[in-house]
A and B are shown apart, each in its own frame.
Chain A
Amino acid sequence: MTIKGKAYIVGAYEHPLRKAPDHSVAQLHAEVAKGAIEDAGLSRDDIDGFFCAGDAPGANAWSLANYLNLNRLRHVDSTDMGGCSYLIHVAHAAEAIAAGKCNVALVTLAGRPSSEGMSGTMVRVRGVNLPDAPFEMPYNPVTVNLYAMAAMRHMHEFGTTSEQLAWVKVAASHHAQHNPHALLRDVVTVEDVLASPMISDPLHRLDSCVVTDGGGAIIIARPEIARTLNRPRVRLLGCGESTKHQAGGRLDLSYTAAAWTGPRAFEEAGVTPADIQYASIYDSFTITVLLQLEDLGFCAKGQGGRFVADGNLISGVGKLPFNTDGGGLCNNHPANRGGMTKILEAVRQLRGEAHPRVQVPGCSLALATGIGGLIGHRHGSATVILERE
């Protein structure tokens, strides 16, 4: 069975706030759920599938289903794969719809790490009974150094430079200047990135995504429902999901699990990287983008640095417009999870509703891909391919 053409993204909403000290996390989830269902032109009682992840209070669906007072649920999925969970939810919702388990699925993401004072240099205890923790936690693995080690290895193996990584941020900033909600709207240069404080070699502050409060939500529906709605139709063509880890000690940080999810998504969709007109690429750090571009086949392994240089990711300038909302690097990375905003901007592009200065003309085929967890030890990946019908 394939999910190709079995489901549509019919509603999408991004919370306008980037700092929400007076909002509860449940309230943020509710506000984005309301925004997405209104965008779709559906009502709360149409929702019979609910998807959320580890950012949901309690890390399961109960508290939010209760808060939202969802009373008609037939399908519930709280799969958590960190920041790419919401891309996986798109795939799972399509599977559930194709199997007749639900008709209208709500996916929500929200959090307030900015107000809670979180940063990428903090040690986070990620659970109890973790088999790896005693062999890792004494060494201070934190978000930024677990990506920095992959960047350092990429530089060693392929000659990638800090200047090339900086181009990813430069491109994101060119897009963010047009987004009135973006946290960082100033255009930056390669020199600005290199002059920003070194956080963990070789990643500077401006190689790192923002920390923001807020969230987003999408509505996924079966084709018969999508055709009754008064919105441009965004059809799901293909998905891939996987996870990658240390392989018993045979560690290889030169690629991510997108090397597996990309080909599966392209195969299901029946398209190739060369067909993609717009790409939302998870950008927790600049190196995250570089690795995924290679792994998805937009360029050969090791050529990511050359590919992103000289504005190749800037809409209207380069060959592959990416993250035209400003991405996690400049716009928004709510709950420290960037997968939802990746879907949202892909939907805007396919609807023709991106900012006119960054809209890809006639955009009819888009990709959204994400990484959850930490590429330095364990992570998930998901890739989704969407088309304008």
Chain B
Amino acid sequence: MPTFTAERKLFDTALNPGDAPYFDAAAQGRLLVKRCKACGEVHHYPRALCPFCWSSEVEWMDTRGTGTIYTYSVTRRGAGAPYCIAYVTLDEGPVLMTNIVGTDLDAVRIGQRVQVTFQTTEGGTAVPMFTPVTQGSAP
């Protein structure tokens, strides 16, 4: 019954200019996405230009931190295994890549409701991950 190994070292990458507010918010326990003031669409990962209309009038927006597992895979070989990589569809719309943590990895299912939790990389950056809110799944 594998669970997330707390010892797994989280890979650090250099942030690009413009990324800091996302990770600063994560350090405060908040998950942000970006919304376009011109077309109203919400996107992820966050960009300086809206990927839907190319407007530069984009703003940070707080999410509820809840969503549904779109897909996942428990990786059982290689460094840090076992771990569960997943895509979660946020209630605000965009899908984001993440890890599912704090649960029996064999019980993870597509359609499962999840909520955000935060873990810290080796370099001290807080990153959003997700953990199940309840048992059961939706279609």
Please list the residues of chain A having a beta carbon within 8 angstroms of any beta carbon in chain B: 119, 121-123, 125, 128-142, 144-145, 148-153, 156, 197-203, 246-251, 253, 377
Contacts and interface: CB of A to CB of B under 8 A. Distances in A.
Interface of B: 8, 10-16, 19, 22-23, 33, 41-47, 51-52, 70-81, 83, 85-87, 93-99, 110-111, 121, 125, 127, 129
21 contacts: A131-B16, A134-B15, A134-B16, A134-B19, A135-B45, A135-B46, A137-B13, A138-B10, A138-B12, A138-B127, A140-B75, A140-B85, A140-B99, A141-B85, A153-B70, A153-B110, A199-B75, A200-B77, A249-B44, A249-B94, A377-B97
Contacts, number: 132
Contacts of A119: 78
Contacts of A246: 95
B41, B96, B129: residue with the most chain A Cβ atoms closer than 10 Å: B96
A160 to B, nearest CB: 13
B66 to A, nearest CB: 16
Nearest to A199: B77
B78 A250 contact: no
Nearest to A151: B73
B129 to A, nearest CB: 8
Residue of A136, A138, A153 ringed by the most chain B CB atoms within 10 A? A138
Given A138-B12, A251-B95, A121 B77 contact: yes
Contact of A139 (B98, B110, B125): B98
Smallest CB-CB A-B distances: 4 pairs = A121-B78, A249-B94, A248-B51, A148-B73
Contacts of A253: 70-71, 87
A152 B93 contact: no
Contact of B13 (A133, A199, A203): A133
B95 A152 contact: no
A142 B75 contact: yes
Contact of A129 (B8, B16, B86): B16
Contact of A153 (B71, B78, B121): B71
A148 B87 CA distance: 12
A153 B14 CA distance: 31
Nearest to A132: B45
A175 to B, nearest CB: 27
Nearest to A120: B78
Contacts of A132: 45
Contacts of B71: 149-150, 152-153, 156, 253
Contacts of A130: 13
A201 B79 CA distance: 16
B95 A200 contact: no
Contacts of A144: 75
A248 B52 contact: yes
B124 to A, nearest CB: 12
Contacts of A136: 45, 97
B11 A137 contact: yes
A140 B12 contact: no
A134 B11 CA distance: 9
A51 to B, nearest CB: 31
B73 A152 contact: yes
B79 A121 contact: yes
Given A122-B78, A131-B16, A142-B78, A249 B85 contact: no
A167 to B, nearest CB: 21
Given A139-B99, A200-B73, A249-B42, 20 more contacts: A121-B75, A122-B79, A133-B14, A134-B15, A137-B11, A138-B11, A138-B125, A139-B85, A140-B80, A141-B85, A148-B75, A151-B73, A156-B71, A197-B76, A199-B75, A199-B77, A248-B41, A248-B94, A249-B45, A251-B87
